[in-house]
Amino acid sequence: MIEIENAHKSFGNLEVLKGINLNVEKGEVVTIIGGSGSGKSTLLTCINGLEPINAGRIRIDGTEVHAKTTDLNKLRQRVGIVFQQWNAFPHLTVLENVMLAPRKVLGLSRDKAEEIAVKQLTHVGLHEKLSVYPNRMSGGQQQRMAIARALAMSPEYMLFDEVTSALDPMLVGEVLDTLKMLAEEGMTMICVTHEMAFARDVSDRVAFFHQGVMAEIGAPDEIFGSPRKPETQEFLGSVR
Amino acid sequence: MFNYTFHWNQALRALPQMLDGALVTLQVAVLSMVIGLACAIALTGFRLSGSRILSGIAAVWVEVARNTPALFQIYMAHFGLGNFGIHLSPYAALLAGIAFNNAGYLAENFRGALKAIPETQTRAGRSLGMNSLQAFRFIVLPQMLRVAYLPATNQMVWAILMTSLGVTVGMNTDLAGVTQELNARSFRTFEFFAIAAVIYYFIAKAVTLAARALAWRMFRY
């Protein structure tokens, strides 16, 4: 379970998160929508400790993320993250990209790591690209590889930070299908997204962020069907 | 007007001697490159250390190495240090001077290569649970090597050619030194230096081609 309690985050004078409270249960899919600069991506990087928070606390299965004693490298093995820019490792083949962390971080043998990597790459539909270098693939394929790379660490939670925003429109579908598949398999996920149809389809709950505040959260039908806050109404009106 | 008669036979008879000299040239160049690489790695570490003193040392080294003639650097190693009671042989002074020069250029090359790898690559590694050393070792370093590789091979060629400056500090066993002595004995200046130039050319060319072949093997992406 991910517990976020009154999380505050500032970059210099700019306060990007103004006291966020959110609990995500095991197996739940929560999507976060909202305009740019609303703090939604920042929250994800705070959850896995890539960014420190200024106040409040974030706990993952009881472990406090920003406590000095927490081993973040260990923690991040349980919380995978995929970014808008997929950050493929260009010097490694697709297979090697996915094998690297299981081998070096988990200390698995080459055979075992390869077995896991092949399984995950097959899962995201890239079993024919194992020995290809990332720059020979489309953005959508590279993004699916990044998802497989994160999954190869067998995380219990997955964070997706606008994973389709940098893709050509025609490639968005294949990545969203991958996310849907994961959601159906019961992966606990927090997805920051601009894809409203996707959010409506897969989410257990949808959170709307506005200027560093979680303005509204609820079932997809509530948020998209009958949003209560005027900010939410305005935002949804503008993206439709 | 033109009444110089070429005596190629005399010059060609000295070819084995010159080829021996060429081996010394290559040896100095390779050693200077190895030492230069080690120093450049240390200098890059100094620059990243956050320590004012260490990054100051690195900055002065790089500035001097890149903005003064290599000839002066070799002079300093021989005569300059000699004034302080440190007497280096011509061989050691030549090696030290070129290694100093190599280190300055290579350190700058490494700095550029490091900058060329986006921060997001490290971030991607860290978010997979790697510590910062692992992220550097397995993700940043291999990519840096590719960026730094070609400029480093240029420096290697420069190092070979710079060894010829050794004659100015009394180096007489390398290709330039041997050629100079043969010339002094026979006054067949054009013949000897033309042959030496051809030998330098082939060494440099061979190194470039070998480096290219190696790059093709190493960097498959």
pLDDT in tens, A190-232: 999 999 999 999 999 999 999 999 999 999 999 999 999 999 9
Q: List the single residue in B with minimal CA-CA distance to A84.
A: B120
- How much is the pLDDT for B7? 80
* Interface residue A69 vs chain B (CB under 8 A): no
- How much is the pLDDT for A32? 96
- How much is the pLDDT for A100? 97
Please check whether residue B140 lies inside any domain of the structure. Answer: yes
Chain B residues with CB-CB distance to A under 8 A? 120-121, 123-131, 134, 138-139, 142-143, 146, 219-221
pLDDT in tens, A133-164: 999 999 999 999 999 999 999 999 999 999 99
Q: Where are the domains of chain A?
A: 2-239
Question: What is the model's pTM?
Answer: 0.84
Q: List the single residue in B with minimal CA-CA distance to A90.
A: B221
- Min distance A100 CA to chain B CA atoms (Å): 8
Share of chain A above pLDDT 70, in %: 100
**CA gap A42, A71 in Å, rounded:** 21
Please check whether residue B4 lies inside any domain of the structure. Answer: no
A91 contacts B221? CB cut-off 8 A:
yes
Mean pLDDT within A158-174: 92
* Interface residue A52 vs chain B (CB under 8 A): no
Q: What is the CATH number of the domain that holds B194?
A: 1.10.3720.10
Show residues of chain A in contact with B221, CB under 8 Å: 90-92, 133-135
Show residues of chain A in contact with B130, CB under 8 Å: 73, 101, 104-105
Show residues of chain A in contact with B144, CB under 8 Å: none
**Kind and range of the H or E element at B102?**
helix B90-116
Counting the structural domains of chain B, the total is 1
Please check whether residue B2 lies inside any domain of the structure. Answer: no
Q: Give yes or no for a contact between A179 and A123, defined as CB atoms under 8 angstroms apart.
A: no
ipTM of this complex: 0.89
- How much is the pLDDT for B1? 59
Q: Give yes or no for a contact between A206 and A219, defined as CB atoms under 8 angstroms apart.
A: yes
* Interface residue A85 vs chain B (CB under 8 A): yes
pLDDT in tens, chain B (221 residues): 577 777 888 878 889 999 999 999 999 999 999 999 999 999 999 998 889 999 999 999 999 999 999 999 999 999 988 888 889 999 999 999 999 999 999 999 999 999 999 999 999 999 999 999 999 999 999 999 999 999 999 999 999 999 999 999 999 999 999 999 998 888 888 889 999 999 999 999 999 999 999 998 888 77
Q: How many residues are present in chain A?
A: 240
β-sheet bridge partners, residue A208: A33, A216
Please check whether residue B3 lies inside any domain of the structure. Answer: no
* Interface residue A133 vs chain B (CB under 8 A): yes
Which CATH homologous superfamily contains domain A2-239?
P-loop containing nucleotide triphosphate hydrolases (3.40.50.300)
Do the strands A14-24 and A2-11 form a parallel or antiparallel pair, or are they unpaired?
antiparallel
A90 contacts B128? CB cut-off 8 A:
no
Q: List the single residue in B with minimal CA-CA distance to A101.
A: B128
A135 contacts B221? CB cut-off 8 A:
yes
Neighbours of B161 (CB within 10 A): 17
Domain region containing B27:
9-218
